């Protein structure tokens, strides 16, 4: 399948992409740093650890419900309005929860944080769904822009918690959380200045969330992208846990685990820069499988590293590999998703990825008390198993009588007529 490009009333260039980078970084910094701010706020106020964890979960758990609010991205006349409103709602609910926490029962900020978290997926996968219309025509432009998108995730994942920690130490955790909320308000304003992209069709032509998920599972490239993304997210999430637990075997103190996670983060940024400088021209479906295998191999290196310097190199390599892999999954979502479900598909994959990452951290934490070797080997084992399944699927497709199914067609009454060149190569299907 050839990559699809979208037309916008604005000419592609650095201006729209720069605005996208600013908006995405601000919104995702708020989404990524909010949990740290809430946990610090509760503990600084003398609250119990279970309450801090519960309120933090109120932000992260609703991400799984993101696909059920994401349909609006594909039905709205102007998707920018939807994402800007989500950013405003996320920031407003977060600020209200922080301001009300000292004066009300914890149930009140808990409800507000659930509302805030419900809009989080629109600030991650939802914003990414706008990128194809901004990047311009051609595979090289699209994939270079996807490298920038990966960088915004890396920057926000690093800057968000660091900013929160610094502001909490200088002023207070509440000040840190309100600063994150202010970032959401600025992001909403910048989002309104992104290029306009018309709706892909009538609202009746846009599938419901469960039908979209069924369509993902029915499409070979999207199905493989989904389970590879989920498996890699689950596996990579074990790295912070194993970094702390493995430092004694490397002959260093537990505090050195921060250097290992920093090496991973720097590697991730270096990998995203590599995608920007030299985007791959390979087919996205094959590329995700190959890069998932590379991620699995680097995870194995982190488990087998005999010394701290080699462990640093292995963690950096894992970060580089994961950045390339993430960019490939963005390319796959962009190139294989039908126009009338693109926003939902981005959010579905993103929501399940975040859920898998949380599960990976929890499982690694549970297993580490039994055996350090178990999570160290489980992560690369699962990733490499998923890549083998992906390769076997594709090989079976080539030899079998039927190719991978596209997303299922809508009933005749719901089908739309699209201009040539706006659908996917190899057949168009409306879900």
* pTM of structure: 0.82
**Residue tagged 């604005």 (tokens):** 10
Q: Which residues contact 127 (CB under 8 A, 6 or more apart)?
A: 20, 23, 24, 27, 28, 83, 191
- Cα 29–89–151 angle (5° rounding)? 20
User: pLDDT tens track of the chain, all 431 residues?
Assistant: 344 444 343 444 578 888 999 999 999 998 888 888 888 888 888 888 888 888 888 888 888 888 888 888 888 888 889 999 999 999 999 999 999 999 999 999 999 999 999 998 888 888 888 888 887 777 888 888 888 889 888 888 877 788 888 888 898 889 999 999 999 999 999 999 888 877 766 777 788 889 999 999 999 999 999 999 999 999 998 888 888 888 888 888 777 888 888 899 899 999 999 998 888 888 999 999 999 999 999 999 998 888 999 999 999 999 999 999 999 999 999 889 888 888 889 889 988 998 888 888 888 888 877 777 788 888 899 999 999 999 999 887 665 444 444 454 443 333 333 333 333 333 333 33
**Residue tagged 């299907």 (tokens):** 429
Structure token pair of residue 390:
């992906």
């Amino acid at each position: 399948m050839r990559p699809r490009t979208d037309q916008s009333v604005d000419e592609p260039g650095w201006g729209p992409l720069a605005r996208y980078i600013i908006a995405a970084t601000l919104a995702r910094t708020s989404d990524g740093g909010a949990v740290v701010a809430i946990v610090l706020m509760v503990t600084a106020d003398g609250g119990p650890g279970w309450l801090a964890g519960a309120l933090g979960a109120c932000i992260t758990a609703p991400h799984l419900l993101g696909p059920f609010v994401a349909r609006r991205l594909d039905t709205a006349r102007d998707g920018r309005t939807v994402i800007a409103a989500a950013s405003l709602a996320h920031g407003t609910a977060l600020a209200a929860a922080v301001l009300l926490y000292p004066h009300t029962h914890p149930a009140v900020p808990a409800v507000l944080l659930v509302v805030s978290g419900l809009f989080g997926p629109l600030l991650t996968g939802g914003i990414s769904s706008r990128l194809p219309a901004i990047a311009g025509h051609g595979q090289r432009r699209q994939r270079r822009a996807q490298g920038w998108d990966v960088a915004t995730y890396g920057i926000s994942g690093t800057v968000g918690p660091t900013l929160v920690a610094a502001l909490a130490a200088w002023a207070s955790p509440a000040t840190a959380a309100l600063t994150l909320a202010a970032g959401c308000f600025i992001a909403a304003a910048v989002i309104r200045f992104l290029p306009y992209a018309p709706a892909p069709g009538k609202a009746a032509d846009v599938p419901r969330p469960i039908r979209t998920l069924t369509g993902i599972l029915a499409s070979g490239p999207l199905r493989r992208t989904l389970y590879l993304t989920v498996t890699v997210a689950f596996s990579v999430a074990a790295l912070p846990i194993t970094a702390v637990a493995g430092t004694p075997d490397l002959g260093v103190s537990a505090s050195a685990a921060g250097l290992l996670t920093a090496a991973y983060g720097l590697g991730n940024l270096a990998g995203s820069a590599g995608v920007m400088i030299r985007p791959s021209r390979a087919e996205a479906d094959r590329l995700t499988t190959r890069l998932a295998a590379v991620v699995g191999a680097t995870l194995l290196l982190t488990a087998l590293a005999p010394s701290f310097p080699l462990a640093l190199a292995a963690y950096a390599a894992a970060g580089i590999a994961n950045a390339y892999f993430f960019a490939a999954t963005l390319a796959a979502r962009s190139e294989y998703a039908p126009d009338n479900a693109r926003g939902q598909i981005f959010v579905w994959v993103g929501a399940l990825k975040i859920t898998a990452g949380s599960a990976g951290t929890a499982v690694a934490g549970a297993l580490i008390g039994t055996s350090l070797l178990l999570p160290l080997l489980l992560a690369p084992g699962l990733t490499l198993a998923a890549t083998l399944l992906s390769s076997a699927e594709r090989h079976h497709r080539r030899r079998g009588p039927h190719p991978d199914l596209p997303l299922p067609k809508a009933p005749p009454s719901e089908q739309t007529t699209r201009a040539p060149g706006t659908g996917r190569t190899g057949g168009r299907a409306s879900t």
